[in-house]
């Protein structure tokens, strides 16, 4: 199995397909690298595509301690995969947790990011609810440890952001949660505790985000309530960003609407590569 090695020695399993300008896919908490298959198959027709399993998600290593699951570990892991493959810069496509990590790479290593697609980004960022969100993350981590992944998958399958997926595609929704049921419970618990419950809110990074010039596409489902306000915030503060809302859509955008997702991201990457996705013309800003 192909693995890259993170700076702390954790092995990260990856898959790649195709040739051309690189695209790296970063998955969400409830998913893993396999959930990017509709995108790997589509984009590998014209790009070199890489999807990897984050630490804590087999067949990547599962570190035993929560201290190995900080947001710094997650975004530097993406860089470790690129370094292993000798890729100087790539288009980053992230969903949820993967979007947060993509944004962190743009903040800390902007030369490595050709563009970033931030889908389903920013849940748990509201400062007024941050303590409650972190407490819920700790409780969720304990659920994984005490009940196991299979039971957690059963009780979370009708979370609000997942209902649109269930309504549109019951078969796909069932496959998604069958995969979650197979996740390593300790890895999921530590990811929930260390990354989800420990990452800074994007609202605390306003000045840093305002300095990012990386071309960005923000995608949000209009029924993904927790991500709408953060998506608007990022649109307002990322200089070279565009925002699109997918109608009647929740959180799992790449699987709920794979054709729309692929077409939207493909157009964005084509415009970036043509030099046609720059910062907003300030003449379009109302005075």
- What domain range is 29 assigned to? 3-126+202-278
What CATH number is attached to the domain comprising 264? Answer: 3.40.50.1820
Tens digits of residue pLDDT in 213-230: 999 999 999 999 999 999
The three-state (H, E, C) secondary structure of 10-66, written as one string: CEEEEEEECCCCEEEEECCCCCCHHHHHHHHHHHCCCCEEEEECCCCCCCCCCCCCH
Q: Residue 177 falls within a domain, yes or no?
A: no
Q: Is the pTM of this model over 0.95?
A: yes
Domain count of the fold of the chain: 1
Asked if residue 154 belongs to a domain, the reply is: no
Report, in angstroms and rounded to the nearest whole number, the Rg of the chain calculated over CA atoms. Answer: 18
Checking if the pLDDT of 282 tops 70, the result is yes
pLDDT digits (tens, 9 = 90+) for 174-214: 999 999 999 999 999 999 999 999 999 999 999 999 999 99
What is the number of H-type helices and E-type strands within the chain? 12, 8
pLDDT in tens, 243-271: 999 999 999 999 999 999 999 999 999 99
Instruction: Note whether residue 68 is domain-resident.
Output: yes
């Amino acid at each position: 199995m192909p693995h890259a090695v993170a700076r702390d020695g954790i092995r990260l399993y990856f898959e790649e397909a195709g040739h051309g300008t690189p695209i790296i896919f970063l998955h969400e908490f409830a998913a893993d690298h396999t959930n990017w298959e509709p995108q790997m198959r589509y984009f590998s027709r014209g790009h070199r595509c890489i999807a990897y399993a984050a630490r804590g998600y087999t067949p990547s290593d599962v570190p035993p301690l929560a201290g190995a699951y900080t947001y710094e570990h997650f975004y530097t892991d993406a860089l470790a995969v690129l370094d292993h493959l000798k890729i100087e810069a790539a288009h980053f496509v992230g969903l949820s947790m993967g979007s947060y990590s993509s944004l962190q790479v743009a903040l800390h290593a902007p030369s490595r990011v050709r563009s970033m697609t931030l889908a389903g980004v920013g849940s748990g960022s509201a400062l007024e609810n941050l303590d409650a969100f972190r407490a819920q993350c700790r409780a969720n981590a304990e659920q994984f440890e005490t009940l196991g992944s299979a039971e957690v998958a059963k009780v979370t399958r009708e979370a609000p952001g997942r209902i649109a997926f269930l309504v549109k595609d019951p078969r796909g929704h069932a496959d998604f949660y069958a995969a979650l049921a197979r996740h390593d419970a300790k890895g999921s618990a530590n990811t929930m505790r260390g990354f989800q419950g420990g990452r800074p809110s994007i609202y605390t990074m306003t000045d840093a985000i305002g300095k990012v010039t990386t071309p960005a596409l923000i995608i949000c489902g209009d029924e993904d309530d927790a991500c709408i306000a953060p998506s608007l915030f990022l649109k307002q503060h990322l200089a070279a960003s565009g925002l699109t809302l997918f109608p009647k859509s929740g959180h799992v955008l790449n699987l709920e609407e794979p054709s729309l997702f692929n077409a939207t991201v493909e157009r964005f990457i084509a415009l970036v590569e043509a030099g046609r996705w720059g910062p907003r013309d300030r003449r379009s800003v109302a005075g």
